[in-house]
Structure 1
């Protein structure tokens, strides 16, 4: 049942979603009117053709998107160059220009104030976030505003920094669905008042909930309060207009990844910092690539560490340059497709998935059916185990999804996560619905 099969186009005549009435466990709801045609069918077909070797029904972009043949070619071509002229020469003569172009494209997807020189590649979104947090100039006893939906790796980094410097981690006010409460933030009441914080940090889209934070409004409030904002865009960049928040001038720094909605390789993340703030940051991990030293008689050993200029202080030095170039190719494809067109198709697919799956065999949506997010979460009925269903979907049906457990985040509950890529179709969603119905009996 892989994506290499001949599949119906996503025209209005394809099988439609069920209505919104919940069905009894193990029963299917009556069919409703046909699903309207999705936007970007031609784009979806082109993206599928660029992934012609795919042998599964891939509905798991929030875990890792599928790289195109062009992304793979960018990596293998560069590896051949390394084998011919040596890795350092290849990085200087072959990779330098394309990497600068990739950083420029990435900067444009993040923030109007950023340029290529304000972006540096890292190992992953997790390492990028941890590096920024470690380098942030927080006073001992400082206060950091966070949310319960922080990804567990970010939460651990926050706990480690809090333990080191006796920081207070303060939960910002949120609504029941996990979105930040703009009303309370605007009023500035309670311990999460922005003007009482030294830093705000949160994911724009959490990995375990199909919601999008009102980031532009929060960023504007942060700017007005004079508190810097560190934004995790690992799950948003590529499916959310991140520049809407950047345009407010209220986002100070970004951490993100290549492998999700941008469909780049694994093992590549990035750090981006506004140029008017970056010189205030320290060095996360001192190395000859990220820092130097200068004499200082008052310092231990008579010298002190001096950060490299700008975002160079986050340079990781030795790195998989081929993967960086693969990320550059993915960014170029995303830009050529049109970020708005990509977002429109992803959100339409997610909406179609919600309409098909809500109430099916007792599964319930974890977010509103019209949530502007490519992540769909399904709450199981009593007695259904999401990890077991996810495993059988993968093994028996060759359909990729993710099972979320309570360890994912402080507000996480067991759900099955579905995240359709640009190249998915309504037929893929119908295939998932049929499989879920069978496996949930």
Structure 2
């Protein structure tokens, strides 16, 4: 991996230390030019006409995404963000009183709110699977909790609030053996390290384009195992999702396309497709190894600084690192880093309510390097943490 060449192709690296890839990765020139070129084409000849001219490239997005996740093109649906993709899967399921939804402590906040809404509406029960001693989903407890009332297991592969990587493949083995649908939120994992739906054993997977994939904002995707369609009835129907039978009925389109809507930003679709192709060309194995190594290095260095504490859980950890300066408010730490042109995020209690219930450590500074970051950039971030810890 030619890091200097990758950085030259990433304009944002010239003026900032970008450690906020769990928020939004920096666009490469290739992706930026792909998006802007289609917008210019729309301006020149019209939106419908530009879409017609670029139809083959637009349709190829499904093929490229399928290659990235290990599925088929007909198993991919495109959305304008990952939450809409996740909602399309979850709200297409039917729940009744007594049904159980199993989830983990690290589940994303919007997902939790959806579970609670359905529980309130239907009488279903939300069951939180405990963590094991390392802080990941306890798969033994999960297996014991699954019974004939279990309607869904919904898990965040990597939480928004830490470096934990949940044991998704083991969860998939358990759910497949039990015949229970498994919805995996891969928003923070896809693009950071290899994600293969066959190996993970999930039935539905959702993700975004803007984070570690380095695609444009306003992009999301849903992968659905063909057999899982038996459990799902799309909660929105429109002309992109089904075919009118000429009378008063309709037939759903084959595969995951039944979850899509007709209108979308084609410049963003092309940008997402370009981002996926970029990741495939660089190689997800190489991307994953470097991103995780940078996260490990940053975490170890911060742990060595007196007055700084990291908070990442799990047996397996990724490029996301969460930390505090012990004697300084988190918002002040983030502001000080920003003043040194270092991009980070801050975790919020409501983004992972179930984790907050158990640990109560949020807000935390969230740092998330990616493969185009350098060791010298990590050095500078650690220097600032050390200065703040000493000053406080």
- Structure-1-length-normalised TM-score: 0.82
Matched, 1:423 2:366: no
Q: Secondary structure at the match of 1:218?
A: helix
Counterpart of 2:6 (choices 47, 60, 63) is: 47
Counterpart of 1:203 (choices 144, 156, 174) is: 156
Corresponding residue number in structure 1 for 2:114: 157
Corresponding residue number in structure 1 for 2:332: 388
Corresponding residue number in structure 2 for 1:281: 232
Question: C-alpha distance in 2, partners of 1:48/1:194?
Answer: 50
Counterpart of 1:246 (choices 186, 198, 215) is: 198
**After superposition, what is the alpha-carbon deviation per residue over 1:287-331, rounded to whole angstroms, capped at 9, x for unaligned?**
3333456699xxxxxx56754432222112211110111111111
Question: Structure 1 segments of 4 or more deviating over 6 A?
Answer: none
Question: C-alpha distance in 1, partners of 2:33/2:315?
Answer: 37
Matched, 1:98 2:57: yes
Corresponding residue number in structure 2 for 1:182: 139
Matched, 1:435 2:384: yes
Are 1:146 and 1:169, in contact at CA under 8 Å, matched by a contact in 2?
A: yes
Q: CA deviation at 1:178?
A: 3.2
Are 1:386 and 1:404, in contact at CA under 8 Å, matched by a contact in 2?
A: no
Provide closer, same or farther for how the CA distance between residues 370 and 197 of structure 1 changes in structure 2, counting only shifts above 3 A: closer
Q: CA deviation at 1:434?
A: 1.1
Matched, 1:128 2:85: yes
Question: Which runs of 5 or more residues in structure 1 are unaligned?
Answer: 1-39, 297-302
Matched, 1:325 2:294: no
**After superposition, what is the alpha-carbon deviation per residue over 1:235-264, rounded to whole angstroms, capped at 9, x for unaligned?**
011123221x5335x311111100111100
Are 1:64 and 1:259, in contact at CA under 8 Å, matched by a contact in 2?
A: yes
Q: CA deviation at 1:195?
A: 5.1
Corresponding residue number in structure 1 for 2:20: 60
**After superposition, what is the alpha-carbon deviation per residue over 1:63-92, rounded to whole angstroms, capped at 9, x for unaligned?**
110010000111111112222332122212
Corresponding residue number in structure 1 for 2:321: 376
Q: Which structure's residues are more often helix, by fraction? A: 2
Question: Which runs of 5 or more residues in structure 2 are unaligned?
Answer: none
Q: CA deviation at 1:401?
A: 0.8
Decide which moves more: 226-235 or 352-361.
Answer: 352-361
- Structure-2-length-normalised TM-score: 0.91
| Rg larger in structure | 1
Q: Secondary structure at the match of 2:26?
A: coil
Q: CA deviation at 1:139?
A: 3.6
Matched, 1:218 2:171: yes
Counterpart of 1:171 (choices 116, 128, 136) is: 128
